[in-house]
């Protein structure tokens, strides 16, 4: 939860800490997601991922005696390559202001959140809806679970 929360907060001072957690197979994917939530780096697109470790068994299996029937919440997240992510951060990190909050690679602004709602991945869209709601107290939360046509209509009115 702490790693996920770090991504939502958007504080660049925790990037090295997140990269450090990418060495732990149990935390690597969630650390990579938090890194992407702050920096906007698309790990698969930038070839900053690795193959999944063979030792990880995610989700339910065929063993009827195994009580674990939960799906892996991180199942579709990429496996970050810690070394490649560190190299990317070394190159791009100086462009981030350590005293500012970032969300998917840009400062947290109304316009950027609307853009993420229109064009982002679902996990980013959910966070964008919350960022918008928190920045405008008293306004209704953007309904990211609504049918696409309803979301598009509402987003067209927001610009």
Instruction: Compute φ and ψ for 106, nearest 5 degrees.
Output: -140, 165
| pLDDT at 72 exceeding the cut of 90 | no
Give the count of domains, the chain. Answer: 2
pTM for the structure as a whole? 0.86
State the pLDDT at residue 89: 98
Q: How far is CA 80 from the centre of its chain?
A: 13
The predicted model gives 116-133 an average pLDDT of 93
> In which domain, by residue range, is 153 found?
109-158
| Tens digit of each residue's pLDDT (9 = 90 or more) over 24-44 | 999 999 999 999 999 999 999
| pLDDT at 57 exceeding the cut of 70 | no
- Burial pattern 33-69, b for ≥16 Cβ within 10 A else e, equals bbbbbbbbbebeeeebbbeeeeeeeeeeeeeeeeeee
State the pLDDT at residue 74: 76
Say if residue 61 is in the same domain as residue 123: no
- Distance between CA atoms of residues 66 and 73, nearest Å: 18
In a domain, 103, yes or no: no
| pLDDT at 70 exceeding the cut of 60 | yes
In a domain, 33, yes or no: yes
In a domain, 104, yes or no: no
Neighbours of 119 (CB within 10 A): 11
The predicted model gives 65-89 an average pLDDT of 83
In a domain, 102, yes or no: no
| Tens digit of each residue's pLDDT (9 = 90 or more) over 3-18 | 999 999 999 999 999 9
In a domain, 118, yes or no: yes
Say if residue 42 is in the same domain as residue 118: no
pLDDT classification of 136: cutoffs 50, 70, 90: confident
State the pLDDT at residue 128: 96
Say if residue 138 is in the same domain as residue 65: no
Say if residue 72 is in the same domain as residue 142: no
Say if residue 115 is in the same domain as residue 141: yes
């Amino acid at each position: 939860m702490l790693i996920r929360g770090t991504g939502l907060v958007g504080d660049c001072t925790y990037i090295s800490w997140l990269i450090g957690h990418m060495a732990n197979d149990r935390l690597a994917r969630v650390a990579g997601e938090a890194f992407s939530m702050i920096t906007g780096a698309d790990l698969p697109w930038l070839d900053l991922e690795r193959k999944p470790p063979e030792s990880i068994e995610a989700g339910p299996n065929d063993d009827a005696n195994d009580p674990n029937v939960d799906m892996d919440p991180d199942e579709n997240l990429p496996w970050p390559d810690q070394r490649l992510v560190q190299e990317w951060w070394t190159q791009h990190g100086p462009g981030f202001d350590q005293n500012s909050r970032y969300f998917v690679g840009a400062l947290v602004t109304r316009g950027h959140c609307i853009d993420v709602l229109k064009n982002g991945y679902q996990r980013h869209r959910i966070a964008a809806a919350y960022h918008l709601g928190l920045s405008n107290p008293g306004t209704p939360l953007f309904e990211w679970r609504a049918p696409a046509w309803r979301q598009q209509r509402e987003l067209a009115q927001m610009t």
